[in-house]
Amino acid sequence: MKNVKINIALDERNRARLETKSYDRAYVDVPNRALPAGLKEELSVIHAALTGNELPEEGSTFTVRADASGTFKRLYSPTVFSTEEKGLIIRWGTDDVPLAVTGGKIGAVNADKKTKFAFKEEQIGKYGETVLSVSIAKDGTLYTMPFPVKAADWEAGVSPDVLDVLLDENPDAIAEQIAVASDPSKRGEGTGGPRLQGHIIKVAELPIGTYTITSYRVRETSYGTDYMIQAIVDEPFVATTRVKDEATEEWGDAEVEVSGFAIVKPNTALKKLFAAEPIIDDANPGTLEVTAHGEWNGFKTAKVLLKCSAFKQDDGSFDIDF
C-alpha cells in the first residue's frame, strides 16, 4: 500500500511562494482554490474522512501570519483546540470539526468508521510537536495528516504520553490541557484584541517607571486565568525571558533587549486588577507604574499600580462610580 503523509509545513517551493508575497493584514486565509492540485486532493481525502464532506473550494486550510510590514512570519494549519464547554475540536479554517472521546479512544463525531486517530509527536518544520494523527486508506493509498495540538500551557506544552494516559483514565481532563479556541468571528485578531508585539517578559523585569498599556488579552490555562499585557517601552532595557533553543528544542532563560513594545506577564497582584475587567485599548490606554523591586524565595518581585479610565459594566458587575 502506498503511503502519503501530508506536509502541513508545505514543500520548499510552495512555502517560498507564500514567503515572497506581501500581505496587507496580520492574518490572511489562503483559499483552498489557490492550493496545488495534488495537495488539494490529499486534503480532500482527510476532510471527507473527518466530516463526510468535500473540501470547500471557497474555504481555507492554511493561514499566513504577517508582521506589521506585511512580511510572512508563520504558517498555520488545522489545529486541535478545546472549547468553552470543555469539548474538543479541530479548527479547520473558519470551520470546526467536533471530536469525541469514547471507550479510551478519540475520534471525530462525523468521521468515516475506517478513520484512525492517534496522539503522536512529529516533526513539523523545524520543531517537534504533539499532534493528533489522522489516517484513512483509499484506493490502495494510506493518507495521513498531523493536526497540531495547541497546549493550554504554551511554555510547558503537553506530551502525547500524557494525553494517552488521560484517554484511558480521565478523558474529561484532556480539554484542560488544550488551549481554548478563539471566537471564529474574530479570527486573525486573537482572543481579546489586536496582535501583541515584543518579547514576553514578567512584570518584575520592567525597570522602575511608568508604562503605557494599549491592550491586553485574557487566556485560560490549566493553572487558571492569565493575562498578556501590551506595554509601550520608551527606553530600551535588557530583560530575562524564556526562549526555545532551536538545536535542543528545550526552553531556557536568556537575556534579550526590549525596545518599542513588550508583552508583560502579570504578577498575582496585577492579575487581580485585570480580573476587574478594565477598559484598555488604543482609545482608552491605561498606565502601569512599577514603583519598587524586591525578591522572594530567589525570584524577582515588583510593586505595581494600574490606572485606567473605566471598567466594563453589565448587569452582573458592581458599580464603583460612587
Beta bridge partners of 201: 264
- Give the helix/strand (H/E) hosting 145: strand 141-148
DSSP designation for 312: -
User: What confidence tens digit (pLDDT) does each residue in 32-85 have?
Assistant: 999 999 999 999 999 999 999 999 998 999 999 887 678 898 899 999 999 888
Q: What pLDDT is attached to residue 313? A: 76
Instruction: Scan for cell 514567503, then name that residue.
Output: 19
Q: Which grid cell sits at 172?
A: 474529561
CA-to-CA distance for 261 and 58, rounded, in angstroms?
37
> Is the full-model pTM beyond 0.75?
no
The string of DSSP codes covering 42-103 is HHHHHHHHHHSSPPPTTSEEEEEEE-TTS-EEEEE--EEEE-TTS-EEEEETTEEEEEEEET
User: What confidence tens digit (pLDDT) does each residue in 293-322 have?
Assistant: 999 988 899 999 999 888 887 777 666 665
First to last CA, the chain: 74
User: What confidence tens digit (pLDDT) does each residue in 155-197 have?
Assistant: 778 999 999 999 999 998 999 999 888 765 544 433 344 567 8
Rg (C-alpha) for the chain, rounded Å, is 22
